Copies of this chain bind each other. A is one copy, B any other.
Amino acid sequence: MPVNLNAPDPIQLFPVEGVRIGVTEAGIRKASRKDLTVVLIDEGASVAGVFTQNRFCAAPVQICRTHLSAGHGVRAMLINTGNANAGTGEDGLLRARSTCNALARLLNLPPTSILPFSTGVIMESLPVDRIEAGLAAAVADAKADNWLRAAEGIMTTDTVAKAFGVQVVIGGATINITGISKGAGMIRPNMATMLGFMATDACVAPSVIQQLARELADGSFNRVTVDGDTSTNDSFVVIASNKAAHAPITSLESADGQMLKSAMLQVAKRLAQAIVRDGEGATKFITIQVEGGKTPEECRLVAYAIAHSPLVKTAFFASDPNLGRILAAVGYAGINDLDQSKIELYLDDVHVAHHGGRNPAYREEDGQRVMKQTEIAIRVGLGRGAATDTVWTCDFSHEYVTINADYRS
């Protein structure tokens, strides 16, 4: 059961001119399942991506990087579930290139204008035949008003499709922004989540699209974790189709640039948080805010130490205010000159620890009350400076073990 996460509202999924999506059932791993998605992009769009920092990155990630730097412009994306095409060596690269070539022939485009994405089981051969056989049906299905099907088409262990959209007005033009994402395990993105795609019809100069993708990822997908496992396939792509009737944005610091980025960040955050809300076995959504650090980086280090502690996560699952476990995680996060006597800990509005020890006014029943909620904020004060950072995570339940013990069966 996802935590306070509803199915996407179709009315909020705005078609983006210049971007069409088609989905089909190719039988890649299981029958009767949407598992192959194509995204067709009109000529002239600005496209950028950020990818996993895992050194064992998947074949499609390697090809995306090459194709994005080839400079031919991106005209299509090809996304399959059921197989990650990671840990597949040279053969995996050949197979990913083969699928790009097949779609390129169908669309009469150079293969380097295609970006491939795969998600699913690692270290198994990509079934190229099934994917290539499904391409024609996926392309035939392509239309602008297809975001919900696309969100469904990229799901793996996700229980709910993830798609959000907003509209803003820039230079008198109504701008559409729509995105989709998928989780739900092997989630500790380092540069981007498992898979996230956003599109807008706004006009964004090619010179700033990479910066925009990077800043959106840093404010969203790079701040969530389910299990601390950085995937081999994490990819996040931003498409600006440049169709809207306003002056192109050439700087993210301009008024229009800030407006667009802020609106897109709303969607990116909701997509990223949706992955946590639908995290494998999640029963609680936890916001971890660390304040009073010397740098945002050390705040993030502490936040991730708390977010990854199996002891903290199981205590939240049990609604047990065994909050000393949070202090322990703060202590081993990696700040060498941490002064434990300056640590403060709050659970929502409840002041749990003061000067590194139990707050004398803290009552167990107050901690218990907050722990029973499905949305909980942990706030840690380090007493070292003015920096702050925030990470979103979920708890760790029996269901996580069940899902991951049975994933392939």
Q: Which residues of A contact B (CB under 8 A)?
A: 53-57, 84, 86-92, 121-125, 185-186, 188, 190, 227-232, 308-311, 314-315, 317-318, 320, 322-325, 327-332, 335-336, 338, 340-341, 343, 353-358, 396-398, 400-402, 404-409
Complex CA gap A272/B393 in Å reads: 32
Q: Are A314 and B92 in contact (CB under 8 A)?
A: no
Complex CA gap A121/B322 in Å reads: 8
Q: Are A55 and B336 in contact (CB under 8 A)?
A: yes
What B residues does A398 contact at CB under 8 A?
398, 401-402
Q: Are A122 and B327 in contact (CB under 8 A)?
A: yes
What B residues does A231 contact at CB under 8 A?
328
Complex CA gap A317/B322 in Å reads: 26
Chain B nearest CB, measured from A238 CB (Å): 24
Chain B nearest CB, measured from A126 CB (Å): 11
What B residues does A124 contact at CB under 8 A?
324, 358
What B residues does A402 contact at CB under 8 A?
398
The residue from B123, B232, B401, B407 contacting A358, defined by CB atoms under 8 A apart: B123
What B residues does A324 contact at CB under 8 A?
84, 86-87, 121-124, 232
Q: Are A122 and B314 in contact (CB under 8 A)?
A: no
What B residues does A56 contact at CB under 8 A?
327-328, 330-332, 338, 340, 343, 356
Q: A123-B353, A310-B396, A320-B408 are in contact. List 7 more A-B contacts (CB 8 A).
A: A57-B331, A57-B340, A121-B324, A229-B310, A229-B332, A318-B404, A318-B405
Complex CA gap A124/B359 in Å reads: 11
CB-CB nearest in chain B for A319:
B405
Complex CA gap A355/B92 in Å reads: 12
Complex CA gap A190/B334 in Å reads: 12
The residue from B332, B397, B409 contacting A190, defined by CB atoms under 8 A apart: B332
What B residues does A397 contact at CB under 8 A?
401
What B residues does A57 contact at CB under 8 A?
331, 340
Complex CA gap A89/B397 in Å reads: 31
Complex CA gap A358/B229 in Å reads: 20
Q: Are A332 and B55 in contact (CB under 8 A)?
A: yes
Q: Are B407 and A331 in contact (CB under 8 A)?
A: no
Give the interface centre of A185, A227, A310, A311 by most chain B CB atoms within 10 Å. A310
Complex CA gap A314/B330 in Å reads: 26
Chain B nearest CB, measured from A37 CB (Å): 22
Complex CA gap A190/B311 in Å reads: 17
Q: Are B405 and A314 in contact (CB under 8 A)?
A: yes
Chain B nearest CB, measured from A178 CB (Å): 30
The residue from B55, B318, B406 contacting A318, defined by CB atoms under 8 A apart: B406
